[in-house]
Amino acid sequence: MKIRLINGLLALLMFTVASGASVADDDALVIYSGRSDKFVKPVVEAFTRETGIQVVLHSAKSTALLNKLRVEGARTQADLYISNDAGNLQLGSDLGLFEPLDGKLVEDIPANLRAPDNTWVGLSARARVLVVNTRQSRTAFVKSVFDLADPRLKGRLGITNSSNESFIAGTTVYMLKAGKETTRQWLQGMKDNAEGQVFNKHSKIVAAVAEGRKDIGLVNHYYIYRHLAKHPEAPVKILLPDQGDGGMGVAWNVAGVAVSKFSHRKEQAKRLVRFLVSREGQEIFAKVNREYPTRGDVAADPDIPPVSSYKVADVPMAELARQRNATIDLLEEVGMP
């Protein structure tokens, strides 16, 4: 009986080994996706319907996937990389992992929302904004993100932990616009105001502000509308910071796509990029998450503030990668939770 058991185990092992080869369909495009499945799937499915090209989504955190791409080098099975953070995209580009795309392919996307050498292209944009509880007036003085360091907000401020990609990207923009020292003091003030309690999700900040546990929070814009879609009566509103004369404007970040330099299916991969920057692709990709389509001629969700209605901080997206370690150094110096 024992012999039979051992034989059975061996057979299973052989099966394991054999099935290892058949896991990935050879013809399918492989996307390393750092963006939530549910936001990528609709557009990918539309692409497959239109072209018949199968796509496999390999999802994980953006940064972990970029590490994987870096270590794999030429042996990677990925054809495309999707990230929610321009910093990651530009870092991959600086590491020489991505294929420069033909300028014609991506000409419909504004130049400041893609890599200078077109190694990646932005697909949707998010704004770093403030969420405010409408049933209080303690935050009436807040006009700029830097006001979040004001001691009047002690215990009333909601921020994410400082390893959050959006938090890091936003801080990089502020550091580039206002200088290191101002940003350091700002972080210190926010750290005091947070009283050691930070959130691990933006959605929880919005919920806390809606419930009155916090008065104000620093979030990406779509979290507010996602909450409002579920709870239309929630007492929260968006506040666009740093507007008016001399204001640095709202920090933006983009989610985007890059084609792997080592892909064996570059033609199909470029077809997917073409689809993603097309009107149809843009409609699906940006709108499932109420983000701004990067293509100027595709309208954003009617609920969110129109792009033309406010000022955006003029920091090139590529800088988000170059300054990332400096930002993390600053966050660590302050001991941001």
Partner 1 sequence: MAVLLHKDRLLSLATGGIVTLAAIPLLFVAYTSLQLNASEWAGLWSSRMPDLLWNTFLLVMLVAAGCLVLGVSAAWLIARRQFPGRTAALWLMVLPLTIPTYVFAYVYTSLLESHGWLGRLWQGLFGEGVPVPDLYNAVGVALILSLSGFSYVFLMSYAAMRRSNPHLEEAARIQGATSREVFWRITLPLLRPAIAAGLAVVTLHVLSDFGAVSMLRYQTFTLSIYLQMTGRFDYEAAAGLSLVLVMLALTFLVFERFFRSRQRFYFGSRVKRVTPRHASRGELILIWSWLGLIALLAFVLPLLWMLSWSWTAWTREAIGVEFWGYLGNSLLVAFAAATIAVFAALPIGYYYNRVRSWLSALYLHLSSIGFVLPGPVVALGALTFILAALPALYGGLLALVLVLVVRFLPLAVQSQESALQQLTPSIEQAGRLLGAGPLENLRRVVLPMIRGGMISAWVLVFIDVMKELPATLILRPIGFDTLPVRIWIEASEEMLELAAPAALLLLVGSLPAMWIVMRGEKAR
Residues that bind partner 1 (CB under 8 A): 2, 9, 12-13, 16-17, 19-21, 23-24, 30, 36-38, 56-61, 63-64, 66-68, 70-73, 75, 77-78, 91, 161, 163, 197-198, 200-201, 203-204, 207, 211, 213, 324-325, 328, 332, 337
Q: Residue 88 or residue 294: which is nearer to partner 1 going by CB? A: 88
Beta carbons within 10 angstroms of residue 9's beta carbon = 10
Q: Which two tokens stand for residue 214?
A: 């916090």
Q: How far is the CB of 159 from partner 1 (least distance, A)?
A: 13
Q: Residue 316 or residue 337: which is nearer to partner 1 going by CB? A: 337
Place of tokens 């972990």: 64
Q: Residue 37 or residue 107: which is nearer to partner 1 going by CB? A: 37
Q: Which residues contact 214 (CB under 8 A, 6 or more apart)?
A: 133, 156, 157, 158, 205, 208
Q: How far is the CB of 279 from partner 1 (least distance, A)?
A: 27
Q: Is residue 81 within 8 Å of 258, Cβ to Cβ? A: yes
Q: Residue 299 or residue 328: which is nearer to partner 1 going by CB? A: 328
Q: Residue 42 or residue 103: which is nearer to partner 1 going by CB? A: 42
Q: How far is the CB of 179 from partner 1 (least distance, A)?
A: 22
Q: Tell me the one-letter amino acid at 66.
A: L
Q: What is the DSSP letter of 145?
A: G
Q: Tell me the one-letter amino acid at 182.
A: T
The Cβ-side half-sphere exposure at 336, using a 13 Å CA radius, reads: 25
Q: How far is the CB of 281 from partner 1 (least distance, A)?
A: 21
Q: Residue 94 or residue 150: which is nearer to partner 1 going by CB? A: 94
CA distance 93 to 95: 5
Q: Is residue 109 within 8 Å of 279, Cβ to Cβ? A: no
Buried residues in 111-134 as b, exposed as e (16+ CB within 10 A): ebbbbeebbbbbbbbbbbbbbbbe
Q: Residue 36 or residue 134: which is nearer to partner 1 going by CB? A: 36
Place of tokens 């998450």: 289
Q: How far is the CB of 237 from partner 1 (least distance, A)?
A: 21
Q: How far is the CB of 298 from partner 1 (least distance, A)?
A: 24
